[in-house]
């Protein structure tokens, strides 16, 4: 039994060919490359010249991208963003790209061709990730820095946004490279998907505020320095900082209000800094004893008073009958974004002056006490005495 087993093992060992070691493989590769060079030296020379030309052309394009980036200060316009991405082209990628483009013309041996194709694939995938990362960074910075307040919006959040974009792009690039190298990435992708779902559920609130911060970044409903009101006027103030999770607002009383980005965007926001004009409204009452011909002239008097101070009249006239008198209102509009501090006082004074010139009296709430007429009380009924 022992001899039989030994013979079977010996036969299996003899039937299984020994795999070549690394030294043998390198020797075969060198020998194959040397034979290829002797047989195709002219094609190799021409291909090398073409590769050098392509490499120089890539460097010219890279220099052009750097000039575009400097011309537009990095993110000032879209072509400067494209130039910024081109400027990040690596030397290794340019060399391998030139070698890959002339590989078929040189009739390289399979081992050399497979090596160059593999290296070029890895370099191309990661270079594409770098280009996409720079374009995304450029777009984000363009939307952030391309307006007033020196790009202070979301400055505190940009670092983490860059980190998340870099991790996402290079994770995808790594999976693509492993897939091209023949590695089964199905389990890896499934694991990353499950892990991403778990992290997303655990940090749901943080990611909600993060995406709200991105919405503020791209949609720009307000900027640092803007005066806003929200929650139907329950909160108001000046925006001091827009962060990754919250926005800091300085209230009228000097207090600092910290509102989560998602919650803030759920409200209707009034941006008073960007308004084109402002309006103000006065309500007043005239006595019922005002003559009808005077009542007809009141709208003209109101218009004259408002326009004399340099404002536009929106409405001025009777709007109803009230218990205390004739109900009037006058609504006027500023020419610029807001009124001067003394605007309301001047308009009110102009209205009072014209009403006094026309002897128009204002009504005010009055109270009339009606006293009933005093009567003599009835005498009490006499008690009936039973004499029995």
Question: In the structure, what pLDDT confidence band is assigned to residue 162 with cuts at 50, 70 and 90?
Answer: confident
Residues 113, 171 within the same domain = no
What string of DSSP letters covers 209-245? HHHHHHHHHHH-S--TT-EEEETTTTEEEEEEEE-SS
What CA–CA distance (Å, rounded) separates 89 from 65?
9
Q: How many domains does the chain have?
A: 3
Res 300: pLDDT: 93
Question: In the structure, what pLDDT confidence band is assigned to residue 14 with cuts at 50, 70 and 90?
Answer: very low
Residues 47, 123 within the same domain = yes
Decide if pLDDT at 207 tops 90. no
For residue range 286-311, list pLDDT tens digits in order: 999 889 999 999 999 999 999 998 88
Query: 107: phi > 0 → left, psi -120 to 50 → alpha, else beta; which?
Result: left
Residues 132, 43 within the same domain = yes
Res 339: pLDDT: 78
Tokens found for residue 5:
């087993």
Residues 251, 336 within the same domain = no
Q: Which domain holds residue 296?
A: 279-357
Q: Give the N- to C-terminal CA distance of the chain in Å, as an integer.
A: 151
For residue range 237-252, list pLDDT tens digits in order: 999 888 778 889 998 8
Q: From 93, 126, 145, give the residue that closes a domain.
A: 145
Question: In the structure, what pLDDT confidence band is assigned to residue 378 with cuts at 50, 70 and 90?
Answer: low
CATH of the domain at 265: 2.30.30.60
Closest CA to 130 of 119, 118, 142, 138: 138
- On whether residue 19 sits in a domain, the answer given is no
Sheet holding 312-322, edge to edge: 279-286, 325-333, 312-322
- On whether residue 381 sits in a domain, the answer given is no
- On whether residue 364 sits in a domain, the answer given is no
Tokens found for residue 110:
């399979």
Residues 258, 303 within the same domain = no
Residues 267, 288 within the same domain = no
Q: From 145, 171, 192, give the residue that closes a domain.
A: 145
- On whether residue 352 sits in a domain, the answer given is yes
For residue range 315-363, list pLDDT tens digits in order: 899 999 988 889 999 998 887 777 788 888 989 999 999 999 988 989 8
Residues 243, 169 within the same domain = yes
What string of DSSP letters covers 271-311? EGGG-S--EEEEEEEE-TTS-HHHHHHHHHHHHHHHHHTT-
What CA–CA distance (Å, rounded) separates 125 from 12?
44
Phi, psi for 74 (deg, rounded to 5): 90, -55
**Cβ partners under 8 Å of residue 155, min gap 6:** 144
Residues 170, 224 within the same domain = yes
Residues 91, 160 within the same domain = no
- On whether residue 1 sits in a domain, the answer given is no
Residues 254, 177 within the same domain = yes
Res 149: pLDDT: 45
Question: In the structure, what pLDDT confidence band is assigned to residue 147 with cuts at 50, 70 and 90?
Answer: very low
- On whether residue 367 sits in a domain, the answer given is no
For residue range 62-89, list pLDDT tens digits in order: 777 677 666 555 555 666 777 777 778 8
- On whether residue 366 sits in a domain, the answer given is no
Contact predicate 173/124, CB 8 Å: no
Higher pLDDT, 26 or 100: 100
Question: In the structure, what pLDDT confidence band is assigned to residue 36 with cuts at 50, 70 and 90?
Answer: low
CATH of the domain at 301: 3.30.70.100
- On whether residue 369 sits in a domain, the answer given is no
Residues 258, 170 within the same domain = yes
What CA–CA distance (Å, rounded) separates 301 from 306?
9
């Amino acid at each position: 039994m022992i001899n039989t087993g030994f013979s079977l093992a010996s036969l299996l060992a003899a039937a299984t060919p020994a795999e070549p070691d690394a030294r043998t493989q390198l020797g075969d590769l060198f020998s194959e490359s040397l034979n290829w060079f002797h047989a195709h030296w002219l094609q190799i020379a021409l291909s090398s010249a073409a590769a050098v030309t392509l490499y120089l052309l890539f460097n010219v394009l890279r220099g052009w991208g750097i000039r575009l980036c400097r011309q537009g200060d990095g993110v000032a316009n879209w072509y400067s963003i494209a130039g910024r991405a081109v400027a990040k082209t690596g030397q290794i990628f340019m060399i391998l790209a030139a070698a890959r483009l002339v590989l078929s013309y040189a009739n390289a041996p399979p081992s050399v061709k497979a090596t160059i194709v593999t290296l070029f694939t890895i370099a191309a995938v990661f270079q594409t990730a770098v280009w996409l990362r720079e374009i995304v960074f450029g777009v984000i910075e363009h939307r952030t820095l391309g307006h007033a307040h020196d790009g202070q919006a979301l400055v505190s959040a940009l670092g983490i946004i860059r980190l998340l974009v870099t991790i996402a792009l290079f994770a995808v690039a790594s999976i693509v490279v492993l897939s091209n190298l023949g590695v089964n990435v199905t389990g890896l992708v499934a694991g990353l998907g499950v892990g991403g779902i778990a992290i997303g559920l655990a940090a749901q609130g943080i990611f909600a505020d993060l995406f709200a911060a991105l919405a503020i970044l791209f949609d720009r409903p307000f900027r640092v320095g803007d005066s806003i009101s929200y929650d139907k006027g329950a909160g108001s103030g000046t925006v001091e900082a827009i962060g990754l999770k919250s926005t800091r607002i300085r209230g009228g009383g000097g207090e600092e209000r910290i509102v989560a980005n998602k919650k803030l965007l759920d409200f209707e926001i009034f941006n008073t800094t960007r308004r084109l004009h402002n309006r103000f409204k006065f309500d007043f009452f005239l006595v019922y004893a005002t003559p009808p011909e005077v009542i007809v002239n009141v709208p003209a008097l109101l218009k004259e008073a408002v326009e004399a101070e340099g404002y536009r009249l929106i409405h001025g006239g009777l709007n109803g009958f009230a218990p205390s008198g004739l109900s009037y209102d006058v609504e006027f509009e500023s020419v610029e974004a807001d009124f001067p501090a003394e605007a309301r006082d001047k308009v009110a004074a102009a209205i009072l002056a014209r009403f006094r010139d026309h002897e128009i009296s204002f009504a005010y709430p009055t109270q009339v006490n009606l006293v009933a007429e005093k009567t003599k009380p009835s005498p009490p009924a006499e008690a009936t005495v039973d004499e029995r």
